[in-house]
Chains A and B, each alone.
Chain A
Amino acid sequence: GENVEQHPSTLSVQEGDSAVIKCTYSDSASNYFPWYKQELGKRPQLIIDIRSNVGEKKDQRIAVTLNKTAKHFSLHITETQPEDSAVYFCAANANAGKSTFGDGTTLTVKP
């Protein structure tokens, strides 16, 4: 089955700096790669996603890049703010109805 590895597990940045989280996947059939943000005690919420026919997607301060050849994708957050502090999960979807998640990255943005 699919295996998703996510790095780093923790990331601390100063407010205003950029943050990058990277994921690799194993199943070349995966074609949908979402990123979720989870605040403490809350459910994961989709922040951005990318599909296999696209190399990059941007939404304001958040961007995601995908390299299908190397089987990796990354989340980029620019101009970080304290409210960006949360746990971020990547996921890969090869089979309809189920996704495999990375273990998460705890991002701390220090004011």
Chain B
Amino acid sequence: NAGVTQTPKFQVLKTGQSMTLQCAQDMNHEYMSWYRQDPGMGLRLIHYSVGAGITDQGEVPNGYNVSRSTTEDFPLRLLSAAPSQTSVYFCASSSVTAGNTIYFGEGSWLTVV
């Protein structure tokens, strides 16, 4: 049981480049979300999904796109990377039947230069 798997773990991007952070979960959770964590700060919600085909914006959605074509996968796309997007990104999943406990992936460290 892998839980929540996200890739890559580390990435360096140049300003203006685009990339996709991959996220997959094997727990059949209906809810998935992406958070960013800046140094010394809490977790801020970027986008979330309550099921396949349904996504919604969180607290800091600008500059990011998501899609949820399957229950398992929830990729996060950076459209045109900016230095302000340097952060640690966590994908997470949860389920009502699992008590709404949030399970996090291991994190993706992204640096935009």
A interface, CB within 8 angstroms of B:
1, 6, 32, 34, 36, 42-46, 49, 89, 91, 93, 96-104
Point out the residue from B42, B45, B105 that lies within 8 Å of A98, measured CB to CB.
Answer: B45
Kindly report which residue of chain B lies nearest to residue A103, judged by CB atoms.
B42
Interchain CB contact under 8 A, A46 and B101? yes
Point out the residue from A6, A99, A103, A104 that lies within 8 Å of B102, measured CB to CB.
Answer: A99
Contacts of B2 in A (CB 8 A): none
Contacts of B43 in A (CB 8 A): 44, 89, 101
Which residues of B (10-51) have their CB < 8 Å from a CB of A?
A: 30-33, 35, 40-45, 48-50
Kindly report which residue of chain B lies nearest to residue A6, judged by CB atoms.
B42
Say if the beta carbon of B61 comes within 8 Å of chain A: no
Contacts of A93 in B (CB 8 A): 100
Taking A32-B100, A46-B101, A89-B42 as contacts, is the C-beta distance between A97 and B48 under 8 angstroms? yes
Interchain CB contact under 8 A, A44 and B100? no
Q: Complex Cα distance A104/B38, Å?
A: 12
Interchain CB contact under 8 A, A43 and B107? yes
Interchain CB contact under 8 A, A34 and B102? yes
Contacts of B44 in A (CB 8 A): 101
Kindly report which residue of chain B lies nearest to residue A100, judged by CB atoms.
B45
